[in-house]
Amino acid sequence: MIMSKETLIKSIREIPDFPIPGILFYDVTTLFKDPWCLQELSDVMFDMYKDKGITKVIGIESRGFIMGPILATRLNAGFVPIRKPGKLPAETLEASYDKEYGKDTVQIHKDALDENDVVLIHDDLLATGGTMKAACELVKMLKPKKVYVNFIIELKDLNGKAVFGDDVEVESVLTL
């Protein structure tokens, strides 16, 4: 079954005033629970990156931990988590960032990547880009060959792509 992007978009649950008043939250778990949507997301993202030489897929806590490993398996790549502080057991690097409704910090293991890696960083949604920008900063500290960034959804009106430099290719499956 081949789905349209419109079908995928219609499958996303919208939750007003979450996690705080004034935020419209796009819940991608509705895409994950539908086997057809999950397969379509997997197929589309695989097609986007199958010829890029990806050696590591990095997922950002927590929704990046769902499609990230699926994509890593399909690309014959390793999976690396970027997590909130205190969750990774070995030595880490960290970066802090502002988000739409607060401040946060993310960490990666210091030995997660090397200069031979071609990296794809994945998360569910691009809003203002703060979380992914911090993740990119962490990844770049480890000096991989190339960095790609991927989202399931981009909220185009928030112009989150503008926070990334020209050295990072940013793509989304869906644009709202």
Mean pLDDT of 157-164: 94
Q: Which of 13, 40, 61, 63 is catalytic?
A: 63
* Catalytic residue status for 6: no
Tens of pLDDT, residues 94-145:
999 987 667 899 999 999 999 999 999 999 999 989 999 999 999 999 999 9
Q: Is 40 known to be catalytic?
A: no
CA distance 107 to 121: 13
Other Cβ atoms less than 10 A from the Cβ of 160: the count is 22
CATH of the domain at 121: 3.40.50.2020
Does any domain span residue 13?
no
pTM of the model as a whole: 0.94
Catalytic, out of 100, 115, 137, 171: 100
pLDDT at position 2, please?
Answer: 57
Does 117 fall in a domain?
A: yes
Rounded distance between C-alpha atoms, residue 137 and residue 66, angstroms: 22
The pLDDT, as a whole number, for residue 134 is 96
CA–CA gap between residue 129 and residue 126 (Å, rounded)? 6
Task: Establish if 94 belongs to a structural domain.
Answer: yes
Of all helices (H) and strands (E), which one includes residue 31?
A: helix 29-33
Q: Does residue 19 belong to any structural domain of this protein?
A: no
Tokens representing 32? 């994950």
DSSP symbol at 163: G
User: Do residues 119 and 142 touch, judged by C-beta distance below 8 A?
Assistant: no
pLDDT digit string, tens, across residues 14-38: 999 998 898 899 999 999 999 999 9
Does any domain span residue 18?
no
Q: Give the chain's domain count.
A: 1
**Range of 155's domain?**
52-173
Q: How many helices (H) and strands (E) does the chain have?
A: 5, 9
Cα maximum dimension of the chain: 44
32 within domain boundaries: no
Q: Is residue 47 part of a domain?
A: no
For residue 3, tell me if it sits in a domain. no
